[in-house]
Amino acid sequence: MKSHLKNILSILIVVSICFALALTTKNQIVLNAFILIFIIHFISFLPANLYKTEKYFDLTGSITYISVVIYVFYSKFYNHGFQWGELIISLAIISWAVRLGSFLFLRIKKAGEDVRFREFKKSWSRWMLTWTTSAWWVSFCSVCGITAIASNSIIKINFLFILGFLLFLFGFIIEIIADYQKTKFRSVASNKNKFITTGLWSLSRHPNYLGEIVLWFGIALMSFSNLNGFQYITLISPLFTYWLLVYVSGIKILETSGQKKWGHLKTYNNYIKKLADDGKLTKFAVDKTRELVLQKLLCKEVGPSSECFKVDLSNLVLADKYKDYMTDE
């Protein structure tokens, strides 16, 4: 009984957070979109709970994205006519949703089960919380894009928009290639119960999630110029995606699972260590580049003397002035 009450309370908190975000946009279309998101998920939950199935879980999320974007775009089109910026963002989100939704649906159809949800399905309230979390995911990820589309002003196709679109394409392509490479790897019988270390997976342990995070940052950049006031809060969208994939539903679960399956293997630990060392090398390169920039800034202060490149930066009097160049962000 306590667990049910806890789950119901969590559901109410999630719903409240989502609609609080929608209200900050001060846009009725966005609020209506959020209502539609939760209606679709709660209706879909009923048969999923009745038959204790998760086969349509990811597909429902994708259908929700598509439905909401079409609704928001149509509302903008009805009031302001055809606009290229709104169309491009809409097609970007819809293309991503169609690709990912169909990929995940076919994958679970072939596998027969998504083991992540095996325990969740045993409790109706926990299972409902899981579906509510999916609605939360759709709401927070899409909010920046749909707010920009629903705005009373017209999206400007400027430098930032083009940069965001290129970033979206880059992330989208990475995600597609990574999923294709892993699917192809798993299709080989001799690779059963093995981990992939080829292609993009030789450069990152989770290149598909990297692509996902990058493409949502692209959507945020495309949307940025059409936001105003409290609507800038919707820029939380790509940050939420990062937090969700890294610390909640994606990488955290897979890393734990990977350690259980292959943690005893030297080859797996060497693979983890190699990518970790590559990450340290990248950080070292960034740190040295930042240090060189600071040295050049110092030279402008003290003159073009060769001595300015021999100063210990840790004791630099000018460090406070240039502290922005020394942060880890």
User: What is the rounded CA–CA span in Å between residue 279 and residue 223?
Assistant: 31
Q: When comparing pLDDT for 109 and 64, which is higher?
A: 64
pLDDT at 313: 45
- Work out the pLDDT band at 315, boundaries 50, 70, 90: very low
Structure tokens at 81: 């006519």
CA 300, CA 325: separation in Å to the nearest integer? 15
Which stretches within the chain are classed as H helix? 2-24, 28-50, 57-80, 84-111, 124-150, 159-186, 207-224, 236-243, 251-262, 266-302
Whole-model pTM?
Answer: 0.82
Return d(Cα 318, Cα 58) in angstroms, integer.
Answer: 53
Given this model, what pLDDT does residue 119 score? 86
pLDDT of 318: 41
Range 85-95 burial, b when 16+ CB lie within 10 A, else e:
bbebbbebbbe
Confidence (pLDDT) at 322: 41
Q: Give Dmax (Cα) for the chain.
A: 77
> How many whole angstroms separate alpha carbon 242 and alpha carbon 223?
18
Residues 65-81, mean pLDDT to the nearest whole number: 94
Residue pLDDT, tens place only, 121-159: 999 999 999 999 999 999 999 999 999 999 999 999 999
Residue written as tokens 């960034």?
286
Q: What is the pLDDT of residues 153-207, one digit of tens each?
A: 999 999 999 999 999 999 999 999 999 999 999 999 999 889 999 999 999 989 9
Tokens representing residue 68 in the block: 């909401």
pLDDT band at 253 (very low <50, low <70, confident <90, very high): confident
User: What is the per-residue pLDDT for 327?
Assistant: 42
DSSP state string for 252-270: HHHHHHHHHHHTT-HHHHH
Tens-place pLDDT, residues 84-120: 999 999 999 999 999 999 999 998 988 888 877 888 8
- pLDDT at res. 316: 43
Residue 256: pLDDT band (50, 70, 90) is confident
- What pLDDT score was predicted for residue 54? 92
Contacts of 271 (CB under 8 A, 6+ apart): 195, 197, 205
